[in-house]
Amino acid sequence: MPDTSLPVTPAQPVRFRGGGFTVRTHRWAALLAFAVLIAVWESTNRFGLVSPLFLPPPSAVAKALGAMVADGSLWQHLKASLMRIGVGWAMGTVCGMAVGFAMGIGSVARAVGVPLVSAFFPIPKIALLPLFILWFGIGEPSKFATIGFGVFFPTVIATYSAIDSVPRNLIRMAQSFGLPWASILRKIVLPGALPGILAGFRITASIALILVVAAEMIGAEYGIGAFVLTAGNLMLTDQLLAGVLVLSLLGLAIGTVLSILERRLLKWR
């Protein structure tokens, strides 16, 4: 160290340099962006930039939707689709969770199941529709099966990986207090796997929504999917978008319900 006296510097305020890199919540930003998007979309039509055939303006979509509400067909379509989504999703989920549980706790089930699931999961369910028709007919069962099949595999995977993530020490603790096997399953494994299972529900609910369109390719008279398909076939693009809008609103609604469910069931996290 050179033995010079330190230069005397005047006192300086410390400059703040910790800003940025944090995400703040902007309540209205999303809504505003949405409003701007819709306004731009509408005006492209008003100014003749885009043909209403290729991209119907929001007002036309709203009108198509309004017509569906007015003649009651929206309700009819929604009812049919919700029933299919509900039953198909429930079947896929119940079976998927049962298999997922077996694979989560049984090593034989896992050894058998993992390669099977890997092999069957990526099959596009739409490719199987002709088979489903042969197996289950063209009534509701084949539609349930389409959705159920799509939901089943992700549920299996979500369930058994959720069980893997249950802390081992809790199971050890329960064993050390002499809890019976079934109690450990019910009181430790099931609630411990619940976050992972619920996260899986989010994915499978979206899959069910996607597959309802495929399912309704099978001779459906009513249903949002059938409505969208028909609108596409008839080149009624405003109705097509109205149907798509209903589907996405349905997705939003299901997502919200799941969020509420998560908040209720997982408030311990």
Partner 1 sequence: MTVVRWGRRTVLGVMGAAALALSAAPAFAQSLEKTSIGVLALASSGPIFIAKSKGYFEKEGLDVDLKMFTSAQQVPVAVASGDVDFGVTGLTAGFYNLAAKGAVTMIAAQSRDEPGFELSAYVAANTAFAAGLKKPADLKGKRIAITTVGSTFHYMLGLLGQKYGFTVKDLTMVPLQDVPKMTAAFKGGQVDAIVAPVTVARQMVADGAGTIIGWVGDETPWQLGALFTGPKTIAQRRPTVEKFIRAYQTALAEYHAAFNTKDASGAIVKGPGYDSLLAIIAEATKQKPEVVAAGLPYVDPQGKLLIDDVVNQVKFWQAEGQVDKALDAKSIMDLSFVK
Partner 2 sequence: MRLIIKDLCHRYDDLVVLEGIDLTVREGEVLAVIGPSGCGKSTLLGIAGGIVAPTSGTIETAGAVPDGCLNPVTFIFQDFALLPWRSVEDNLALVLEHHPLPAAERRERIEAGLRRMGLWDFRKALPKQLSGGMRQRVGIARALAVRPAMLLLDEPLSALDAQTRELLMEDFLALWQRERTTALYVTHNLDEALRLADRVVVLSRRPGRLREIVTIEEPRDQRLQPSAQAHLAEVRDRLWHLIRAEAQLADREIANA
The residues of the shown chain that bind partner 1, judged by CB under 8 A, are: 48-55, 129-131, 133-134, 137-138, 217-220, 226, 229-230, 232-236
**Site residues (CB under 8 A) for partner 2, limited to 172-211:** 172-180, 183, 187-188, 191-192, 194
Which residue lies nearer to partner 1 by CB, 109 or 133? 133
Name the residue among 114, 95, 96 with its Cα closest to residue 106.
114
Q: Is 269 in the site for partner 2 (CB under 8 A)?
A: yes
Nearer to partner 2, 16 or 177 (CB): 177
Q: Which does 17 bind (CB under 5 to 8 A by kind): partner 2, partner 1, none?
A: none
CB of 191: closest distance to partner 2 in angstroms? 5
268 binds, among partner 1, partner 2, none (CB under 5 to 8 A by kind): partner 2
Q: Alpha helices of 121-189 — where are they, by DSSP H?
A: 129-136, 140-164, 168-176, 181-184
**CB-nearer residue toward partner 2: 156 or 188:** 188
Residue 74 interacting with partner 2 (CB under 8 A): no
Of the candidate residues 4, 5, 169, 233, the single one contacting partner 2 (CB under 8 A)? 169
The string of DSSP letters for 205-257 reads HHHHHHHHHHHTTTT-SSSHHHHHHHHHHTT-HHHHHHHHHHHHHHHHHHHHH
Biggest CA–CA distance in the chain, Å, is: 95
Please state, in angstroms and rounded to a whole number, the distance separating the CA atoms of residues 57 and 41: 6
Residue 107 binds partner 2 (CB under 8 A): no
* Residue 187 interaction partner, one of partner 2, partner 1, none, beta carbon < 5-8 Å per kind: partner 2
From the list 35, 81, 83, 41, the residue with the least C-alpha distance to 59 is: 41
Contact yes or no for 207/88 (Cβ under 8 A): no
Contact partner, 172, from partner 2, partner 1, none, Cβ < 5-8 Å per class = partner 2
179 binds, among partner 1, partner 2, none (CB under 5 to 8 A by kind): partner 2
Match 């049962």 to its residue by tokens: 98
Spatial neighbors of 68 by CB under 8 A, at least 6 apart, are 74, 77, 242
Structure tokens at 247: 């589907």
Interface residues toward partner 2, by CB under 8 A: 169-170, 172-180, 183, 187-188, 191-192, 194, 266-269
